[in-house]
Every structure is written in structure tokens, then in C-alpha cells.
């Protein structure tokens, strides 16, 4: 071989550059060896050596690329493990994907095996976010990915399907549709899409799967937490909020500085007699009907609670046009129109109510509740079926 010294210097440079750039083989390097190798066997050996070095370079580059992004993924995993707010999780997932790959369009879809619909919980295009929606399981890429459990990777010139074109203003070319498989079940699909041809590599598929697993696991945990939390603040019999929720809500309203809070304490007048005469099943029906009356007057400003036994609370946050007396009148009309019919007898719900106003009748939860309780006691003393203000 001619120019042995230069050949060794070139090989040394190639070895030194491994892992530092995408392609270590320049045209000049290849031309040099082709011009200076006289024997075909030598040329074959050197070609094999050069290709081997390039292959090692690609592998090291991929490892370096993945290592860099795994550090980012580790940070994302930490966020997911500490966040129970679904909207925050979705926002962070979008931010994360945008960091590691082109995302002119992006969506996250959730799916439970056996469902006839796919829930698209996040859809973004060119920085614009679209409302959540559901799509029929069928002829769309998300459905195909779920059915086949395989990645769909379009590298160029993707023609958008009908559903995908229902959000977003432009067609994309490079697209990834990746299934998220947890416990051998497809739980969702993540899709990243770019306007640039060949925007994604094999490693992007793996990253999208990892991000999807983290975010969907965290969303399911957040939803389970929300479900459990609702159970802890909800009365099982009536569906109204319970004692714990009442104290939390009223305390929060006072801490927020609300200056117009009305508390109505409601107590049934004849539950004991209903229980004694008809049994506790009818007594439970009586309580449920009492709660239904409260639900009928509830709005964004008015919230009802089953406080304990046959004692209920209503919190009014702010001024209401109809006033407390008209609200009470509506309650009485509801109970009059909806009696319990049993054994040819009609049982009408009867209530006594005490009203207290913050801050005039109390500056804390306990003092306000005590004022309403004293007004309720007065209503009972006046013959029941009364509304008394503190």
C-alpha cells in the first residue's frame, strides 16, 4: 500500500472520532484508500474495517443520544410520580415530547380493552390545543395501533385520515403512532407528527413508548386517587357531600376571604316516627328524598351536604337573587310534590331550618355552625317545619 504513514494517521483519526459525530467516513477518506490500495484483497479488508468502524460509531452515537434523553426522561418520571393532577401530567408530557423530538402535531389517546371508543385527552397542533373528544374504535390510526399492538411509522407524505384531520390545520408528513402497553394490555396511543420528511429515528419510537408508559400510568393513578377522594367526601346513601367535605369547603371559603356566606342547617322533623312505623329501609328512602330536595336547589353557588344522620347543611357562597326564604319555599314545594307512597299512605318530608350568615353570626366554621344550630333549635321550639334566622 502506498502512503502507509498517512493511512495509519487516517485510521487513528477515525478511531478518535468514533461517537463524536454522525458520520466519521468522509468522501476524502474513502477516496484515499481506494486510490492507494493496489490489491483487491487489501481493499476488501480495509472496506470491512471502515464499515466496522462506522457501525461502532453509529452504535456509540445512538447510546450517547439515548443517554442524553434518558436523563430528561428521569426528570419526567420524577414529575409523574409526584403529580396527581391530570391536566398537569398532560401538559408536562407534551413539553417532554417536544424536547426530545419534532412535534408539529401531537396527541395522547387512552383506551380500555373492550371499549367501543378511544378517549383523546390531549390534541395539539402548531401550539394550539383542542378540546378533549372521543372517537369510535374503527378506521383510524389509533385503532390500528391498538388492534395490531405495533408501531406505525410513516416517514414521508402521510395522507391524513378523516379523524386526524378533524383537528389541526395542516397535513403532516413524518408520523409516529406508538402503542402504550401496560401489563400486556394496550392502554393508549401516543402520536408525534412532523412537517419534515424522515423526522424520526428508531430511538424516537422507544422514547415515545417510555413517555407514554409514564404519563398513562400516572393518569390512571390520578384518576384512581380522584375516585377514592370523592368516595371519602361523598355520603354513600344520598350522594351529597359529607361531614368532612363540609368542613373543608366552608373553611376554604372563609380563608379565601369571602364576605358573603350563608349557612343553612336542616334537620328532618319526623324521621324517628318513619323508622318506628315503617322500618329503616323507608327511613333511608326518606333521607334520600330529603337529599333530592336539596339537590334540586343546588347551583354553582349553592352546595348541599349530609352532615350526620338526618342533619343536612347548605352553603350559599355569595348573594343569590331569590333569597333564602324563596329557596326554602322551593324546598317545601318539592317535598309536597314528591311524597313517599307506602301502604296507601303518603309520607311527606318535613324539615326545620336554621340560618346563619358569615361574618355577622360567626367568624369561624365552628361559631357559624353554632349560630345556625341555635336557630335550628328555635325552629324546633316553634313547632317544627319552620325557617329561623340567627
Render pLDDT for 11-55 as a digit per residue (tens, 0 to 9): 777 776 776 666 767 777 777 777 776 676 777 777 777 777 777
**Residue 65 has what pLDDT?**
62
**Residue 44 has what pLDDT?**
74
Q: Would you say residue 165 has pLDDT above 70?
A: no
**C-alpha–C-alpha distance, residues 34 and 29, integer Å:** 9
Q: Would you say residue 10 has pLDDT above 50?
A: yes
Average pLDDT of the segment spanning 233-245: 95
The CA-based angle 342-343-347, given to 5 degrees, is 40
Q: Would you say residue 161 has pLDDT above 50?
A: no
64-106 per-position pLDDT tens digit: 666 667 777 778 888 888 888 999 999 999 998 998 889 999 9
**Residue 163 has what pLDDT?**
41
Cis-peptide into 197, omega within 30 deg? no
**Residue 139 has what pLDDT?**
81
Q: Would you say residue 167 has pLDDT above 70?
A: no
Enumerate residues 6+ apart whose C-beta is below 8 A from 224: none
190-238 per-position pLDDT tens digit: 999 998 888 898 888 988 999 999 999 999 999 999 999 999 999 999 9
**Residue 66 has what pLDDT?**
62
Average pLDDT of the segment spanning 238-255: 95
284-328 per-position pLDDT tens digit: 999 999 999 999 999 999 999 999 999 999 999 988 878 899 999
φ/ψ of residue 246, rounded to 5: -60, -50
Q: In the chain, at which residue ranges do the beta strands (DSSP E only) sit?
A: 105-110, 117-125, 128-130, 133-136, 152-154, 174-182, 185-194, 261-268, 302-308, 311-317, 340-342, 345-347, 351-358, 387-389
Q: Calculate the average pLDDT of the chain.
A: 86
pTM: 0.66
Amino acid at each position: 500500500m502506498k502512503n502507509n504513514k498517512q493511512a495509519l494517521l487516517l485510521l487513528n483519526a477515525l478511531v478518535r472520532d468514533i461517537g463524536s459525530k454522525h458520520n466519521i467516513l468522509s468522501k476524502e477518506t474513502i477516496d484515499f484508500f481506494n486510490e492507494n490500495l493496489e490489491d483487491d484483497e487489501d481493499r476488501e479488508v480495509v472496506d470491512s474495517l471502515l464499515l466496522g468502524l462506522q457501525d461502532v460509531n453509529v452504535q456509540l452515537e445512538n447510546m450517547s443520544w439515548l443517554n442524553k434523553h434518558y436523563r430528561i426522561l428521569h426528570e419526567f418520571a420524577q414529575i409523574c410520580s409526584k403529580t396527581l393532577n391530570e391536566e398537569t401530567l398532560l401538559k408536562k408530557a407534551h413539553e417532554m415530547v417536544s424536547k426530545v423530538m419534532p412535534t408539529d402535531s401531537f396527541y395522547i389517546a387512552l383506551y380500555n380493552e373492550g371499549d367501543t371508543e378511544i378517549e383523546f385527552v390531549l390534541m395539539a397542533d402548531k401550539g394550539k390545543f383542542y378540546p378533549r373528544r372521543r372517537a369510535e374504535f374503527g378506521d383510524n390510526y389509533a385503532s390500528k395501533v391498538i388492534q395490531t399492538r405495533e408501531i406505525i411509522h410513516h416517514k414521508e407524505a402521510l395522507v391524513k385520515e378523516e379523524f386526524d384531520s378533524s383537528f389541526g390545520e395542516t397535513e403532516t408528513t413524518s408520523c409516529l403512532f406508538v402503542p402504550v402497553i401496560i401489563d400486556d394490555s394496550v392502554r393508549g396511543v401516543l402520536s408525534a407528527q412532523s412537517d419534515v420528511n424522515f423526522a424520526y429515528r428508531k430511538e424516537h419510537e422507544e422514547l415515545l413508548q417510555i413517555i407514554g408508559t409514564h404519563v398513562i400510568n400516572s393518569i390512571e393513578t390520578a384518576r384512581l386517587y380522584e375516585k377514592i377522594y370523592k368516595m371519602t367526601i361523598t355520603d354513600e346513601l344520598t350522594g351529597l357531600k359529607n361531614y368532612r367535605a363540609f368542613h373543608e369547603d366552608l373553611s376554604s371559603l372563609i380563608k379565601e376571604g369571602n364576605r358573603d356566606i350563608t349557612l343553612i342547617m336542616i334537620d328532618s322533623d319526623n324521621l324517628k316516627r318513619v323508622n318506628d312505623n315503617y322500618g329503616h329501609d323507608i327511613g333511608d328512602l326518606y333521607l334520600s328524598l330529603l337529599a333530592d330536595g336539596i339537590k334540586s336547589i343546588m347551583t354553582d353557588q349553592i352546595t348541599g351536604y349530609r352532615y350526620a344522620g338526618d342533619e343536612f347543611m347548605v352553603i350559599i357562597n355569595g348573594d343569590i337573587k331569590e333569597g333564602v326564604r324563596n329557596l326554602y319555599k322551593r324546598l317545601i314545594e318539592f317535598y309536597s310534590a314528591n311524597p313517599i307512597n307506602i301502604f296507601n299512605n303518603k309520607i311527606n318530608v318535613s324539615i326545620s331550618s336554621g340560618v346563619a350568615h358569615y361574618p355577622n353570626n360567626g367568624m369561624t366554621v365552628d361559631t357559624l355552625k353554632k349560630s345556625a344550630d341555635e336557630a335550628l333549635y328555635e325552629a324546633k321550639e316553634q313547632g317544627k317545619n319552620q325557617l329561623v334566622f340567627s
